[in-house]
């Protein structure tokens, strides 16, 4: 199961971002290319394992967009993209995002109070992006029925679980100077 994802992760090159061993992968970076069979494998797994009794799919710019778009096309459920750009629309919700190597602002539009949503993203590492997303959705009055990240590294998923959130991930990996190892 998930053979294409596993194989491509084991081949992923490492790029040092300060002290952070950043793996470069089609799902997380769109590099070198995003093959349809890989996306199909990932989205098929999300459909099989995610709670899709929802009104909207929510993802985060940038590398959640291809996953969210494919899932939306497969399920006919609308997609909301949390952007890194302010639009100033009425009701726009801004939250701060901190990852293992960057800081920024995220802006949520398009989710209404009472909307049932799933959050999908490519990877969780420190959990900073997911926690910011969940804070924005709470402020919007949405009901988050599931959180699903394709790849888990570090302690971010455990951080969300400690804060009471359910999160599903497809593969857990670790990355160091020598490359990516699949833990389970
Ligand atoms: O658990 P965290 O430490 O928050 O890391 C996970 C986040 O890091 C990346 O986003 P980022 O904004 O760095 O890059 P992107 O624009 O390429 O998605 C990735 O897409 C996740 O959203």
Residue 182 lies in a domain: no
Q: Which domain holds residue 59?
A: 3-175
Residue 180 lies in a domain: no
Q: How many domains does the chain have?
A: 1
CATH code for position 52: 3.40.50.2020
Closest ligand 1 atom to residue 28 Cα is 20
Residue 11 lies in a domain: yes
Q: Which of 15, 99, 134, 135 to mutate to test the pocket of ligand 1 (most atoms within 8 A of CB)?
A: 99
Residue ranges for the chain with pLDDT beneath 50: none
Q: What ipTM, to 2 d.p.?
A: 0.96
Q: Cα of 106 to ligand 1 centre, how many Å?
A: 11
Q: Return the biggest CA–CA distance within the chain.
A: 48
Q: Which of 122, 126, 147 to mutate to test the pocket of ligand 1 (most atoms within 8 A of CB)?
A: 122
Residue 144 lies in a domain: yes
């Amino acid at each position: 199961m998930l053979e294409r994802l596993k194989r491509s992760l084991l081949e992923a090159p490492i790029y040092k971002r300060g002290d952070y061993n950043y793996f470069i992968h089609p799902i997380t970076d769109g590099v070198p290319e995003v093959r349809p069979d890989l996306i199909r494998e990932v989205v098929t797994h999300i459909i099989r394992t995610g709670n899709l009794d929802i009104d909207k799919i929510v993802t985060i710019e940038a590398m959640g967009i291809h996953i969210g778009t494919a899932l939306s096309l497969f399920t006919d459920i609308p997609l909301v993209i949390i952007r890194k750009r302010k639009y100033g629309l009425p009701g726009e919700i801004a939250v701060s995002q901190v990852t293992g190597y960057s800081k920024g602002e995220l802006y949520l539009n398009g989710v209404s109070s009472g909307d049932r949503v799933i959050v999908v993203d490519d990877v969780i590492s420190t959990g900073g992006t997911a926690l910011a997303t969940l804070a924005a959705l709470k402020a919007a009055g949405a009901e988050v029925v599931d959180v699903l990240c394709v790849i888990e590294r570090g302690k971010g998923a455990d951080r969300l679980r400690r804060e009471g959130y359910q999160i599903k991930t497809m593969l857990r990996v670790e990355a160091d100077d020598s490359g990516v190892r699949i833990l389970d």
